[in-house]
Amino acid sequence: MTLPVTPRRILGWTGTVGLVAAAATILAAVVLTVAYQVTFDGRTTATEGWLVLHATAAPILGMAAFAAFLVLVWPTGGARSWRRPFPIVATAVATLAAAVAILTRDMVTWEQVAFASVRVGGGEAGYWFAAFDPDVAFVVVDGSEVGRSAYAVRLVVHLLAPVATAALLALGVRAARSQSGGSST
């Protein structure tokens, strides 16, 4: 027996996939925020796997948000939702926030950190350190010097974007499912 494919069922799956991808993206972002490091030869340290997870989960999150948006605006599935536009607006903004998260990833992956004074030792790691340590003069990202405050703004936008995507996707899918009434089976 096959279950009918309904917009409500598709929304349930896109919401679930989106939230799992959001959890993976946010978990990887948290690890990279405190543990990201670059070696002298330009390779990352033990965070390489987290970079791959982060780079893979963020587009999946964006695709889930976009799929939810398409289901809501599709004539057979979401035409009724235009009377109550919150789910459509929420999933559209979630799609944009996911795009911001994807596009700002390369803006926070630093290659070098320049200190205002000489330091002995090392072991400094993480995106957060590069953005908010008062001894950091500037950060080299993609071969260009970026001031600490500009880098901090990029980092905060990059970290908040997947959180906003997950929240808006969850709210939009929940609102759409509650507007359609009934259960998902």
CB 101 within 8 A of CB 160: no
- Domain residue limits, the chain: 7-107+160-178
Two tokens, residue 53:
């997870």
> pTM for the whole thing?
0.72
pLDDT of amino acid 182: 47
* Cα–Cα distance measured from residue 67 to residue 87, given in angstroms and rounded to the nearest whole number: 13
pLDDT of amino acid 153: 93
pLDDT of amino acid 183: 46
- In terms of Cβ atoms closer than 10 Å to its own Cβ (0-12, 13-18, 19+), residue 94 is buried
pLDDT of amino acid 18: 76
pLDDT of amino acid 102: 85
Average pLDDT per consecutive 10 residues, the chain (185 residues; last block may be shorter): 64 75 78 65 60 79 82 60 73 88 83 68 69 85 88 90 87 78 47
- In terms of Cβ atoms closer than 10 Å to its own Cβ (0-12, 13-18, 19+), residue 17 is middle
